[in-house]
Amino acid sequence: MPSVRRPLWLASILVMAGVLLLAACGGGEKATPTPGAGTPAPGGTPAAGVATPSGGKLVIVGTEQGGRNLFIPDKAQIPVGTEITVEFQNKGQAIHDMFIQGTNFRSDQVVQGGKNSSFKVKIDRAGSFKFICEYHQPEMAGTLEVK
Ligand SMILES: [Cu+2]
């Protein structure tokens, strides 16, 4: 009788989902970025969020926080077919760079701590592009939406 089998089937799905959820929560991959790791936290840091161009200029920061190398923010959005100046600011101590994969657009290959590197970007097709620091990939990466 299907009326007997169905609840069992449902129950096992629920158990599996529960196990998956537990596994997802238990995974230590996303260690919470706890403050106090010597991170200078300037008031105006654009924390999460998505960077968008202002006056034709898009600012992306590269830095280190809590032993990690990262872009802040790690999401940006620009209009399709429009030239944008990306100002990559290295506010960390290590060397970083910024390269938009699948394009020829990139910062200087060596951007020392405390230095900036500006470059022009114009992408004529909509899509999602990954940008990386070539020194700290895959950890240091972000996503540029062109739409
Ligand atoms: Cu880097």
Give the distance (Å) from ligand 1 centre to CA of residue 36: 21
Give the distance (Å) from ligand 1 centre to CA of residue 51: 18
130: in domain = yes
Give the distance (Å) from ligand 1 centre to CA of residue 68: 9
The whole-model pTM stands at: 0.67
3-state DSSP call for residue 18?
Answer: helix
> Using 50, 70 and 90 to split pLDDT, how confident is the model at 89?
very high
Question: 């938009």: which residue's tokens?
Answer: 100
101: in domain = yes
Which one-letter DSSP state was computed for residue 76?
A: E
The range of the structural domain enclosing residue 112 comes to 57-146
Give the distance (Å) from ligand 1 centre to CA of residue 31: 19
> Using 50, 70 and 90 to split pLDDT, how confident is the model at 44?
very low
22: in domain = no
Q: Do 81 and 94 form a contact (C-beta atoms < 8 A)?
A: no
Q: Quick one: average pLDDT of 96-106?
A: 98
Give the distance (Å) from ligand 1 centre to CA of residue 98: 8
Q: Which of 136, 132, 86, 90 is nearest to 112 (CA)?
A: 90
Give the distance (Å) from ligand 1 centre to CA of residue 97: 6
Q: How much is the mean pLDDT over the chain?
A: 80
Q: What domain count does the chain have?
A: 1
Run of H or E including 26: helix 2-26
141: in domain = yes
CATH of the domain at 90: 2.60.40.420
88: in domain = yes
